Every structure is written in structure tokens, then in C-alpha cells.
Amino acid sequence: MRISFCQGLLTGAIILNLLILYYVSRAQQQMMEKRKELGRGTRRGHSRGPRVTVLLREFENFENYVGDVANSFLRQRPELPFLAVADTSPYPPLVLPEGARLLVLSPSPDQPPQAHRPEFHVQTEFVLLVPDGVELEQPRAIERLIRELEGEGGGPVRLVAAPVLARSAVQCLHLRVNLREWTATYSPAASGSSGSVCTALQGDAVVLIRTEDLFNLSVPLGRPLFSSLFVQTALRGWKVKLLESPCFSANHRPLFSSAHNQWKADTRLKEATGKLMRSFGLKRLLLPDGKEQWYGCSKETPRCFGTVQDDTPDYLYLDRWTPPCCLRALRETTKYVINILESSGVRYWLEGGTLLGAVRHQDIIPWDYDVDLGIYLEDVPNCDHLKNLDSGSLVDANGYVWERAVEGDFYRVQYSEANHLHVDLWPFYPRNGVMTKDTWTEHKQDVEFPEHFLQPLVPMPFAGITAYGPNNHRAFLELKFGEGVIENPQYPNPSKKRLERSKL
């Protein structure tokens, strides 16, 4: 078979491309081997370059000592790279000594992307995270931290910390992060004589971490730095070892020279913490002293999720359950409504999934998004909040919104005008011994039932109070949902999102 000129040319081009790909691949492989060899040499202590980059992330533009910190470290260890990191260009501009650099994280349209990415600016094996105002008086202190971290042999301890000024300035904490429940829980950790191992720190400290570990975090330099760092490391099962010594010195403590600047710093810290927690999807913090901090919805804000489609709120698709601030608002609204119904002489009972939650949890189902109560239609005139709701809505003295639902012949009580978390009131009436109503939904549990379930109503614990429910709750629930519903929890619409039993 004769080969044409074009076929020969095409064959030659293919062979040439294959050769180019081969040599490029070989070059890349050789570069990787050189990096590995450099890393091995670094671990053996034979590298000529520095092993640590000093990084200062937390400082305020209106008052800081970044230049002094850089001078302190470079005076003792001039070979160490020093990097100050800011979200935007500081004003007034930082005055940094030779050998120290500023990295601005906010991208600029005239700069390449790597100019604003910190991983391109750190070429050492370790990063030393230092707070503003700290000083290096003992040049060998950094080697002590490196030895401690290397001595852990790649186990769960992936960070080593040293206190600033005194060991008492830092508290070792246990941090448990539950993303499914949007919650982070801090508790005190036990201290040991040779150092403490825990999952978070609170206070003034210097932290050493491997560069590879730092930049394997989703948000390596989020602010506040410690909050961001330890939430992410705790989720990965990493621990931090807090040493008794060495202690790093600091001439600038307190860090701010006036009460006004301290107030400004505290305000910015609060704002940064709120922004960070919302970006991480953490809406409730339980602090070591037992106090709570909330970053979710309130009476003054919209609820944390939008209109529910197919009985499946958006957070279920994220493998999360109802935000705790929403559960808190639902509990408050339920207690409030039940108190008014009872004081008005309106007979009510826990309905549907709300009754199911009371039986299973003595509370709202952890992934539910509203509360359902059945009421006797004939009792509606007894309640001033309900009897005049033929049209429009009523905002009561406590900010709750009472209205007749537009979807059907039932009532709804919203947490506030801004926050539409709600309790639905379903009016039933007896007919030939059966409880019925005039409008029905497409939910399979929305069915008629014998009135004997309500004769009598029985008290049961629910959401921190005693509420009333049907007298045979198992039979009632199995009539509504099917046999075994109590023992087999499931999301409202399994065809859209199923609950994995392994996640219970």
C-alpha cells in the first residue's frame, strides 16, 4: 500500500506530538522527584533554605505593630521569610523592613491570580502563625516547635502552639463541630504538666503548622484566624499541642492604646466572626462558659430557608437538618400559641409530624420546618386572635402574625412579620363520630379519623412544655402515616430526599 504525502505528513506530526508529550512528562516527573528529594533533605536538616515562613494575619489598620513584629523576627532570624497578610491594602500603608512582604488577598483585575493566593507565596515546609505585637527573643524557640511537631510523627497532632507572655494566657479547648445541626460546641480541655493536647485554643498564642496542611484547608487564612483554623482542623480530626514553654514575649499588651480603639477592634472581631460562621454554616456556638452565640435568623430577619418545594426544604439537600435558630423560633411560637389556645378554651392536639416528633423526641422532629396543631372548629369563636380572621391578618402585641392561610381553610401563626416560621392550626369538626374538615391537602396524613382519639386528650411533653395529644398516639399515627412510622423515621418526601439510617 502506497502512503500519500499528506498521510506521511500526518503520521510525522503525530509522532512529533507524542515525543513532545513524552519529554514534557519526563521533565514534570523529574521536577516532582527533585521536590521530593528537597523535602527529604529538609526533613534530614540538610536544606540550605529556611524551613519556616512567619505569617502575621490578624492586625488592625487603625493601630498595629506589624513592622515591629517583622523587625523582631528578622533581627534574630534574618533568613526567615516574613509575610503580612491582609484582605485589602492597609491604610495607612504598612511600613515593613527589608525582608518582609505584604500579601493582599483581594484580587485585582491587573494582576495574575497567583498574586493574591497565599500558597504561591509560601515555599517553606512550615508556617508560623503569629499574632500582632509578638516578639522573638529566643531564636531557638522556633526549632523547639518544629521538633515537637515532627516528634508527633504525622499522628493526630498536626499543630503545635506556644503561649504569648504566659501559659495562663491560653486556654486549651475541646471543639465539636456538628455541621448537620449547624452547631459548634466548645468545652474546657484537661491540662497536663508537659503540654495539653486539644482541638482548639482560646487566647494569645503562636501556632506552627505544616504548609501542606494549612493550604489543604478550604479557608486557610479566614478571619478570625483561630476560629477559622480550629473549626476546619476539628472537622478533620486534627489536634493542637499547647506547650508550657517557650513563651513568646510581647511589649504591646494590651494591644490597643485606647478604649476607643479596643472598642473598634472588638466590633470588627464580632463582625468578622459572624461573617465567618455564616460562611461555614454555623448558626449556634456553645461557649466554654455555657453561654450561646447565635448567627441565624431572628424575629427581625427572614428565616434561614426559602419557600419549601415538594415538602423538602433546601437544607435537606445539603445533608443538614433544621437550623437551630429556626427550631428555637418554632418552639417559642408553639409555646405562645398553645398558651393562648388554652387560656381561650380552644381544644387542640398535636397533629401529624408534630405529634410524631413529640412521641419520638418529646420535641420537634430535627428536620421539620413547621408545627401542626388540630383544633375544634366550634371553639374558634372563643379566641379573639382567630375569630376575626375572615380576611387579612393580625399582628399581636408580641409581634406574632395571625392569619387565615391562603392555601385552604386553616389558620397560620407566624413568628414575626419578617420571619415566616409558623404554626398551622387545622380546624376539624365531628360528623357521625368522625373528625373531618372542609378542605384537604395532598399530604397522605391529612385524613379523617375517629373522634374517640380526642376523648379524652392526654398531656404529653413537647418542646419544653406539656401539650395535649390524642389518647392512643400509636394508633393515631399509624392511621395517618402507616404501620411502624414511629420506629422508622424518614424525610417528608423520600422520593426527593431519603434519610440515610446510618446518619441518625
Q: Report the run of H or E that residue 130 belongs to, with start and end.
A: strand 126-130
Enumerate the domain spans of the chain: 52-177+187-249, 323-503
Contact between 305 and 314 (Cβ < 8 Å):
yes
For cell 508529550, name the residue.
21
Assess if CATH 3.30.360.10 describes domain 52-177+187-249. Answer: no
- Return the CATH class of domain 323-503: alpha beta
> What is the dihedral sign for C-alpha 410, 363, 356, 454?
negative
Q: Are strands 126-130 and 52-56 parallel, antiparallel or unpaired?
A: parallel
Average per-residue pLDDT in the chain?
91
Contact between 148 and 210 (Cβ < 8 Å):
no
Residue 2: the pLDDT is 57
Contact between 470 and 441 (Cβ < 8 Å):
no
Contacts of 140 by beta carbon, 8 Å cutoff, 6+ apart: none
Contact between 476 and 449 (Cβ < 8 Å):
yes
Contacts of 144 by beta carbon, 8 Å cutoff, 6+ apart: 162, 243, 246
3-state secondary structure 440-504: CCCCCCCCCEEHHHHCCCEEEEECCEEEEECCCHHHHHHHHHCCCCCCCCCCCCCCCCCCCHHHC
Letter for the amino acid at 29? Q
* Helix/strand/coil for 43: helix
Q: For residue 374, how many other CB atoms are within 10 A of its CB?
A: 27
| More confident: 11 or 400 | 400
Residue pLDDT, tens place only, 245-271:
889 999 899 999 999 999 999 999 999
Contact between 284 and 325 (Cβ < 8 Å):
yes
Alpha-carbon gap, residue 470 to 427, rounded angstroms: 15
Biggest CA-to-CA distance, the chain: 102
Residue pLDDT, tens place only, 228-239:
999 999 999 999
CB half-sphere exposure, 109, CA atoms < 13 A: 0
Q: pTM to 2 decimals?
A: 0.86
Q: Is the pLDDT of residue 44 over 50?
A: no
Letter for the amino acid at 164? V
Contacts of 1 by beta carbon, 8 Å cutoff, 6+ apart: none
Contact between 11 and 5 (Cβ < 8 Å):
no
pLDDT band at 19 (very low <50, low <70, confident <90, very high): low
- Laid out side by side, the sheet with 292-294 consists of 200-203, 170-178, 183-188, 284-286, 292-294
Alpha-carbon gap, residue 471 to 204, rounded angstroms: 58
Residue pLDDT, tens place only, 426-463:
999 999 999 999 888 888 889 999 999 999 999 999 99
Residue pLDDT, tens place only, 154-185:
899 999 999 999 989 999 999 999 999 999 99
323-503 and 52-177+187-249 share a CATH fold: no
Residue 246: the pLDDT is 87
Residue 13: the pLDDT is 57
User: Distances from the Cα of 14 to the Cαs of 3, 8, 23, 266, 424, in angstroms?
Assistant: 15, 10, 14, 64, 71
DSSP, res 309? B
Give all strands (DSSP E) within 246-311, no chain letters.
284-286, 292-294
| More confident: 47 or 245 | 245
